[in-house]
Protein backbone atom coordinates (compact mmCIF):
# COMPACT_ATOMS: atom_id res chain seq x y z
CA UNK A 1 0.00 0.00 0.00
CA UNK A 2 2.87 2.37 0.79
CA UNK A 3 4.13 1.95 -2.78
CA UNK A 4 0.85 3.21 -4.24
CA UNK A 5 1.21 6.48 -6.19
CA UNK A 6 -2.04 7.66 -4.64
CA UNK A 7 -1.36 7.15 -0.92
CA UNK A 8 1.33 8.81 1.15
CA UNK A 9 2.86 7.21 4.22
CA UNK A 10 0.93 9.58 6.45
CA UNK A 11 -2.41 8.84 4.79
CA UNK A 12 -1.71 5.08 4.84
CA UNK A 13 -1.05 5.12 8.56
CA UNK A 14 -4.24 7.03 9.26
CA UNK A 15 -6.62 5.06 7.04
CA UNK A 16 -7.52 2.82 9.91
CA UNK A 17 -8.54 5.82 11.97
CA UNK A 18 -11.20 7.15 9.60
CA UNK A 19 -13.94 5.94 7.29
CA UNK A 20 -12.62 4.65 3.95
CA UNK A 21 -13.68 6.18 0.66
CA UNK A 22 -17.10 5.29 -0.75
CA UNK A 23 -18.11 4.36 -4.28
CA UNK A 24 -20.17 7.53 -4.58
CA UNK A 25 -17.03 9.58 -3.97
CA UNK A 26 -15.41 7.86 -6.93
CA UNK A 27 -18.46 8.53 -9.12
CA UNK A 28 -18.47 12.17 -8.06
CA UNK A 29 -14.77 12.51 -8.84
CA UNK A 30 -15.24 10.97 -12.30
CA UNK A 31 -18.11 13.31 -13.09
CA UNK A 32 -16.06 16.38 -12.14
CA UNK A 33 -13.15 15.10 -14.24
CA UNK A 34 -15.41 14.38 -17.21
CA UNK A 35 -17.09 17.80 -17.05
CA UNK A 36 -13.85 19.68 -16.27
CA UNK A 37 -15.67 21.54 -13.51
CA UNK A 38 -18.09 21.29 -10.59
CA UNK A 39 -21.15 23.14 -11.94
CA UNK A 40 -22.19 20.76 -14.72
CA UNK A 41 -21.05 17.74 -12.70
CA UNK A 42 -23.32 18.74 -9.79
CA UNK A 43 -26.22 19.17 -12.21
CA UNK A 44 -25.61 15.75 -13.81
CA UNK A 45 -25.39 14.06 -10.40
CA UNK A 46 -28.37 15.86 -8.89
CA UNK A 47 -26.41 17.18 -5.90
CA UNK A 48 -25.51 20.66 -4.75
CA UNK A 49 -22.18 22.10 -5.82
CA UNK A 50 -20.96 22.63 -2.21
CA UNK A 51 -21.75 18.99 -1.40
CA UNK A 52 -19.84 17.84 -4.47
CA UNK A 53 -16.86 20.06 -3.62
CA UNK A 54 -16.79 18.64 -0.07
CA UNK A 55 -16.88 15.08 -1.39
CA UNK A 56 -13.93 15.66 -3.74
CA UNK A 57 -12.00 17.51 -1.03
CA UNK A 58 -12.55 14.61 1.36
CA UNK A 59 -11.34 12.18 -1.27
CA UNK A 60 -8.17 14.22 -1.80
CA UNK A 61 -7.66 14.34 1.95
CA UNK A 62 -7.94 10.56 2.20
CA UNK A 63 -5.49 10.09 -0.65
CA UNK A 64 -3.12 12.70 0.68
CA UNK A 65 -2.65 14.31 -2.74
CA UNK A 66 -4.55 16.79 -4.94
CA UNK A 67 -6.47 15.33 -7.87
CA UNK A 68 -7.22 18.61 -9.68
CA UNK A 69 -5.26 21.69 -10.69
CA UNK A 70 -7.45 24.25 -8.94
CA UNK A 71 -5.91 27.25 -10.73
CA UNK A 72 -6.78 26.04 -14.24
CA UNK A 73 -9.97 26.87 -16.14
CA UNK A 74 -11.41 24.58 -17.24
CA UNK A 75 -10.49 22.34 -14.33
CA UNK A 76 -7.76 19.82 -15.20
CA UNK A 77 -6.46 16.69 -13.51
CA UNK A 78 -3.05 16.44 -11.88
CA UNK A 79 -0.85 13.55 -12.98
CA UNK A 80 -2.00 11.63 -9.91
CA UNK A 81 -5.58 12.53 -10.79
CA UNK A 82 -5.19 11.09 -14.30
CA UNK A 83 -3.88 7.80 -12.95
CA UNK A 84 -6.57 7.69 -10.28
CA UNK A 85 -9.25 8.37 -12.90
CA UNK A 86 -8.29 5.22 -14.81
CA UNK A 87 -8.38 3.15 -11.61
CA UNK A 88 -11.77 4.54 -10.66
CA UNK A 89 -13.26 3.67 -14.04
CA UNK A 90 -11.95 0.11 -13.70
CA UNK A 91 -13.29 -0.25 -10.15
CA UNK A 92 -16.73 1.16 -10.87
CA UNK A 93 -16.99 -0.74 -14.14
CA UNK A 94 -16.30 -4.01 -12.30
CA UNK A 95 -18.78 -3.19 -9.52
CA UNK A 96 -21.53 -2.12 -11.92
CA UNK A 97 -21.03 -5.21 -14.05
CA UNK A 98 -21.13 -7.51 -11.02
CA UNK A 99 -24.35 -5.91 -9.77
CA UNK A 100 -25.90 -6.18 -13.23
CA UNK A 101 -25.04 -9.87 -13.51
CA UNK A 102 -26.40 -10.72 -10.06
CA UNK A 103 -29.63 -8.74 -10.43
CA UNK A 104 -30.24 -9.52 -14.11
CA UNK A 105 -33.99 -9.22 -14.75
CA UNK A 106 -35.64 -7.69 -17.82
CA UNK A 107 -38.49 -6.30 -15.70
CA UNK A 108 -36.45 -4.87 -12.84
CA UNK A 109 -33.37 -2.72 -12.37
CA UNK A 110 -32.00 0.20 -14.33
CA UNK A 111 -30.89 0.86 -17.87
CA UNK A 112 -28.66 3.79 -18.80
CA UNK A 113 -29.24 5.40 -22.17
CA UNK A 114 -27.67 8.39 -23.88
CA UNK A 115 -28.58 10.36 -26.97
CA UNK A 116 -27.21 13.32 -28.87
CA UNK A 117 -29.07 16.66 -28.38
CA UNK A 118 -30.50 16.61 -31.92
CA UNK A 119 -32.30 13.33 -31.12
CA UNK A 120 -32.98 13.23 -27.37
CA UNK A 121 -35.89 15.71 -27.01
CA UNK A 122 -37.69 14.54 -30.14
CA UNK A 123 -37.41 10.78 -29.89
CA UNK A 124 -36.73 9.65 -26.33
CA UNK A 125 -39.99 10.69 -24.57
CA UNK A 126 -42.11 8.33 -26.68
CA UNK A 127 -39.57 5.55 -26.24
CA UNK A 128 -39.36 5.92 -22.45
CA UNK A 129 -43.08 6.22 -21.81
CA UNK A 130 -43.73 3.11 -23.86
CA UNK A 131 -40.98 1.02 -22.27
CA UNK A 132 -41.72 1.93 -18.64
CA UNK A 133 -45.53 1.84 -18.90
CA UNK A 134 -45.78 -1.82 -17.88
CA UNK A 135 -42.47 -1.96 -16.01
CA UNK A 136 -42.91 -0.03 -12.74
CA UNK A 137 -39.70 -1.52 -11.30
CA UNK A 138 -37.49 -0.32 -14.16
CA UNK A 139 -35.53 2.91 -13.82
CA UNK A 140 -34.31 4.59 -17.00
CA UNK A 141 -31.34 6.95 -16.56
CA UNK A 142 -30.92 9.53 -19.32
CA UNK A 143 -27.80 11.32 -20.54
CA UNK A 144 -27.86 13.96 -23.29
CA UNK A 145 -24.40 14.58 -24.69
CA UNK A 146 -22.55 15.17 -27.96
CA UNK A 147 -21.23 12.16 -29.84
CA UNK A 148 -17.69 11.98 -28.45
CA UNK A 149 -18.86 12.20 -24.85
CA UNK A 150 -21.43 9.46 -25.41
CA UNK A 151 -18.82 7.18 -26.99
CA UNK A 152 -16.52 7.76 -24.04
CA UNK A 153 -19.26 6.77 -21.61
CA UNK A 154 -20.19 3.69 -23.64
CA UNK A 155 -16.55 2.67 -23.77
CA UNK A 156 -16.14 2.99 -19.98
CA UNK A 157 -19.37 1.20 -19.17
CA UNK A 158 -21.18 4.29 -17.88
CA UNK A 159 -23.97 3.83 -20.45
CA UNK A 160 -25.68 0.71 -21.75
CA UNK A 161 -26.96 2.19 -25.01
CA UNK A 162 -26.41 5.39 -26.99
CA UNK A 163 -28.43 6.80 -29.89
CA UNK A 164 -26.51 8.99 -32.29
CA UNK A 165 -25.79 9.48 -36.00
CA UNK A 166 -23.08 8.37 -38.40
CA UNK A 167 -20.14 8.71 -38.96
CA UNK A 168 -19.00 5.99 -36.55
CA UNK A 169 -15.45 4.64 -36.43
CA UNK A 170 -15.16 2.94 -33.03
CA UNK A 171 -14.09 -0.59 -33.99
CA UNK A 172 -14.43 -2.04 -30.47
CA UNK A 173 -18.08 -0.93 -30.14
CA UNK A 174 -21.06 -2.32 -32.02
CA UNK A 175 -23.87 -0.40 -33.68
CA UNK A 176 -27.12 -1.07 -35.44
CA UNK A 177 -28.67 1.23 -38.04
CA UNK A 178 -32.14 2.47 -37.09
CA UNK A 179 -33.17 4.69 -40.00
CA UNK A 180 -32.13 7.33 -42.50
CA UNK A 181 -33.58 10.77 -41.88
CA UNK A 182 -33.84 13.69 -44.25
CA UNK A 183 -32.50 17.11 -43.27
CA UNK A 184 -34.94 19.86 -44.23
CA UNK A 185 -34.13 23.40 -45.25
CA UNK A 186 -35.75 25.84 -42.83
CA UNK A 187 -36.38 29.53 -43.57
CA UNK A 188 -38.83 32.21 -42.46
CA UNK A 189 -42.10 32.59 -44.33
CA UNK A 190 -41.10 36.01 -45.64
CA UNK A 191 -37.73 34.84 -46.95
CA UNK A 192 -36.76 35.27 -50.62
CA UNK A 193 -36.67 31.48 -51.00
CA UNK A 194 -40.41 31.32 -50.26
CA UNK A 195 -41.19 32.25 -53.87
CA UNK A 196 -39.30 29.25 -55.28
CA UNK A 197 -41.36 26.14 -55.95
CA UNK A 198 -38.25 23.98 -56.08
CA UNK A 199 -35.00 24.62 -54.25
CA UNK A 200 -31.61 23.12 -55.01
CA UNK A 201 -28.42 23.42 -53.00
CA UNK A 202 -27.07 26.10 -55.32
CA UNK A 203 -30.08 28.27 -54.46
CA UNK A 204 -29.25 28.04 -50.76
CA UNK A 205 -25.53 28.81 -50.84
CA UNK A 206 -25.75 32.65 -51.15
CA UNK A 207 -27.74 32.99 -47.92
CA UNK A 208 -26.16 33.16 -44.42
CA UNK A 209 -26.72 29.93 -42.52
CA UNK A 210 -27.17 29.20 -38.82
CA UNK A 211 -25.25 26.08 -37.79
CA UNK A 212 -24.93 24.12 -34.57
CA UNK A 213 -21.53 24.41 -32.93
CA UNK A 214 -18.83 22.03 -34.13
CA UNK A 215 -19.24 19.57 -31.27
CA UNK A 216 -22.53 18.49 -32.91
CA UNK A 217 -22.26 15.86 -35.63
CA UNK A 218 -25.20 17.45 -37.47
CA UNK A 219 -23.00 20.40 -38.44
CA UNK A 220 -20.31 18.04 -39.69
CA UNK A 221 -22.88 16.14 -41.77
CA UNK A 222 -24.29 19.31 -43.30
CA UNK A 223 -20.88 20.75 -44.12
CA UNK A 224 -19.84 17.43 -45.72
CA UNK A 225 -22.99 17.42 -47.86
CA UNK A 226 -22.22 20.98 -49.04
CA UNK A 227 -18.63 20.03 -49.82
CA UNK A 228 -19.79 17.05 -51.89
CA UNK A 229 -22.01 19.45 -53.86
CA UNK A 230 -19.03 21.79 -54.39
CA UNK A 231 -20.74 24.36 -52.18
CA UNK A 232 -19.54 26.23 -49.12
CA UNK A 233 -22.23 27.59 -46.76
CA UNK A 234 -21.81 31.05 -45.30
CA UNK A 235 -21.81 30.37 -41.56
CA UNK A 236 -23.70 33.23 -39.95
CA UNK A 237 -23.41 32.00 -36.38
CA UNK A 238 -23.10 28.76 -34.42
CA UNK A 239 -25.52 27.90 -31.63
CA UNK A 240 -25.91 25.04 -29.17
CA UNK A 241 -29.53 23.91 -29.62
CA UNK A 242 -31.84 23.12 -32.53
CA UNK A 243 -34.63 25.01 -30.76
CA UNK A 244 -32.45 28.14 -30.95
CA UNK A 245 -31.92 27.57 -34.67
CA UNK A 246 -35.67 27.31 -35.23
CA UNK A 247 -36.44 30.39 -33.14
CA UNK A 248 -33.81 32.56 -34.85
CA UNK A 249 -34.82 31.46 -38.34
CA UNK A 250 -38.45 32.25 -37.49
CA UNK A 251 -37.57 35.93 -37.08
CA UNK A 252 -35.65 36.00 -40.37
CA UNK A 253 -32.19 35.56 -38.88
CA UNK A 254 -30.57 33.26 -41.44
CA UNK A 255 -31.55 29.85 -42.81
CA UNK A 256 -30.57 26.36 -41.70
CA UNK A 257 -31.11 22.62 -42.01
CA UNK A 258 -32.84 20.51 -39.36
CA UNK A 259 -33.72 16.79 -39.11
CA UNK A 260 -37.23 15.60 -39.91
CA UNK A 261 -38.02 14.77 -36.28
CA UNK A 262 -37.42 18.40 -35.29
CA UNK A 263 -39.71 19.60 -38.09
CA UNK A 264 -42.57 17.30 -37.12
CA UNK A 265 -42.48 18.41 -33.50
CA UNK A 266 -42.24 22.16 -34.16
CA UNK A 267 -45.48 24.12 -34.57
CA UNK A 268 -44.03 27.58 -35.26
CA UNK A 269 -46.14 28.98 -38.11
CA UNK A 270 -43.51 31.58 -38.99
CA UNK A 271 -41.11 29.06 -40.52
CA UNK A 272 -41.19 26.89 -43.63
CA UNK A 273 -39.57 23.48 -43.96
CA UNK A 274 -38.50 22.62 -47.51
CA UNK A 275 -37.22 19.40 -49.01
CA UNK A 276 -34.38 20.07 -51.45
CA UNK A 277 -34.94 19.10 -55.05
CA UNK A 278 -32.54 16.45 -56.35
CA UNK A 279 -30.09 14.80 -53.96
CA UNK A 280 -31.29 15.44 -50.41
CA UNK A 281 -29.13 15.82 -47.30
CA UNK A 282 -29.71 12.99 -44.83
CA UNK A 283 -28.31 11.55 -41.65
CA UNK A 284 -28.25 7.92 -40.52
CA UNK A 285 -29.43 7.37 -36.94
CA UNK A 286 -27.80 4.45 -35.13
CA UNK A 287 -27.83 2.65 -31.79
CA UNK A 288 -24.46 1.88 -30.12
CA UNK A 289 -23.44 -0.47 -27.32
CA UNK A 290 -20.30 -2.05 -25.90
CA UNK A 291 -20.12 -5.83 -26.61
CA UNK A 292 -17.24 -6.21 -24.13
CA UNK A 293 -19.47 -5.17 -21.21
CA UNK A 294 -22.10 -7.38 -19.64
CA UNK A 295 -25.35 -7.06 -21.58
CA UNK A 296 -28.21 -7.45 -19.13
CA UNK A 297 -31.53 -8.87 -20.24
CA UNK A 298 -33.06 -5.49 -19.43
CA UNK A 299 -30.59 -3.67 -21.72
CA UNK A 300 -31.16 -6.22 -24.47
CA UNK A 301 -34.93 -5.80 -24.16
CA UNK A 302 -34.52 -2.04 -24.31
CA UNK A 303 -32.44 -2.34 -27.48
CA UNK A 304 -35.22 -4.34 -29.08
CA UNK A 305 -37.74 -1.72 -27.97
CA UNK A 306 -35.65 0.97 -29.66
CA UNK A 307 -35.72 -0.99 -32.90
CA UNK A 308 -39.47 -1.55 -32.66
CA UNK A 309 -40.22 2.12 -31.98
CA UNK A 310 -37.86 3.20 -34.77
CA UNK A 311 -39.67 0.98 -37.25
CA UNK A 312 -43.07 2.29 -36.13
CA UNK A 313 -41.98 5.92 -36.43
CA UNK A 314 -40.55 5.28 -39.88
CA UNK A 315 -43.82 3.69 -40.96
CA UNK A 316 -45.82 6.65 -39.63
CA UNK A 317 -43.58 9.19 -41.36
CA UNK A 318 -43.40 7.40 -44.73
CA UNK A 319 -46.48 9.35 -45.83
CA UNK A 320 -44.40 12.54 -45.52
CA UNK A 321 -41.37 10.97 -47.19
CA UNK A 322 -39.20 11.95 -44.22
CA UNK A 323 -37.32 8.73 -43.64
CA UNK A 324 -36.58 5.43 -45.25
CA UNK A 325 -36.29 2.09 -43.46
CA UNK A 326 -32.85 0.53 -43.53
Shared domain check, 148 and 88: no
Domain that holds residue 21: 9-101
Query: Could you tell me if 259 and 236 lie in one domain?
Result: yes
Q: What pLDDT, on a 0 to 100 scale, did the predictor assign at position 289? A: 95
- Domain termination site, one of 101, 129, 145: 101
Q: For residue range 42-68, what is the model confidence (pLDDT) as tens digits?
A: 888 889 999 999 999 999 999 999 999
Q: Is residue 4 part of a domain?
A: no
Question: pLDDT at position 315, please?
Answer: 66
Write out the chain's pLDDT in tens, 326 residues: 334 444 443 443 443 444 457 888 998 999 899 888 999 888 888 899 999 999 999 999 999 999 999 887 888 999 999 999 988 888 888 887 787 777 777 788 888 999 999 999 888 888 888 888 888 888 888 889 989 889 988 988 889 999 999 888 888 899 999 999 999 999 998 888 888 889 888 888 888 888 877 666 777 777 777 666 556 665 666 777 888 888 888 888 888 888 888 887 777 778 889 999 988 889 999 999 999 888 888 899 999 999 998 888 766 655 554 444 33
Q: Is residue 3 in a domain?
A: no
Same structural domain, 143 and 88: no
Mark whether 241 and 304 lie in a shared domain.
yes
User: Is residue 221 within 8 Å of residue 251, measured between CB atoms?
Assistant: no
- Are 129 and 226 contained in the same domain? yes
Report the pLDDT value the prediction gives residue 239, as an integer from 0 to 100. 76
Q: Is residue 136 part of a domain?
A: yes
Residue 141, domain member (yes or no)? yes
With beta carbons less than 8 A apart as the criterion, state whether 119 and 285 touch.
yes
**Do 85 and 112 fall within a single domain?**
no
What SS3 class is residue 171? coil
CATH of the domain at 30: 1.10.10.10
> Does residue 70 belong to any structural domain of this protein?
yes
Alpha carbon 105 to its chain centroid, in Å, reads 26
Give the residue from 61, 86, 101 where a domain finishes. Answer: 101
From the list 43, 5, 1, 48, the residue with the least C-alpha distance to 20 is 1
Helix, strand, coil shares of the chain, percent, nearest 5, are 45, 20, 35
What's the gap between Cα 113 and its chain centre? 9
CATH number of the structural domain spanning residue 137: 3.40.190.290
Do both 290 and 230 map to the same domain?
Answer: yes
The pLDDT of residue 99 = 78
| pLDDT digit string, tens, across residues 71-91 | 878 889 999 999 999 888 888
Does residue 97 sit in the same domain as residue 119? Answer: no
Give the per-residue pLDDT at 208.
85
pTM of the model: 0.71
**Which SS3 state, helix, strand or coil, does residue 283 take?**
strand
Last residue of a domain, one of 78, 101, 124: 101
> What is the rounded CA–CA span in Å between residue 60 and residue 29?
10
Same domain assignment for residues 93 and 110: no
Query: What total of structural domains would you count in the chain?
Result: 2
Amino acid sequence: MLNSPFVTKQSAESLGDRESMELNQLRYFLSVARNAGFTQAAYDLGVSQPALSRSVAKLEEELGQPLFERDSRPLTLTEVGKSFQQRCMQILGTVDQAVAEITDDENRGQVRIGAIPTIAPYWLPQLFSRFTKNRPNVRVLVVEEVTMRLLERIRHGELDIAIMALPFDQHYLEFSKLFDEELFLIHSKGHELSSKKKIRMNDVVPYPMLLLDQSHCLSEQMELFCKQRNSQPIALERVAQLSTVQAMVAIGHGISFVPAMARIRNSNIRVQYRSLDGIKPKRTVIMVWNPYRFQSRLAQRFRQEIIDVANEIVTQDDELGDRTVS
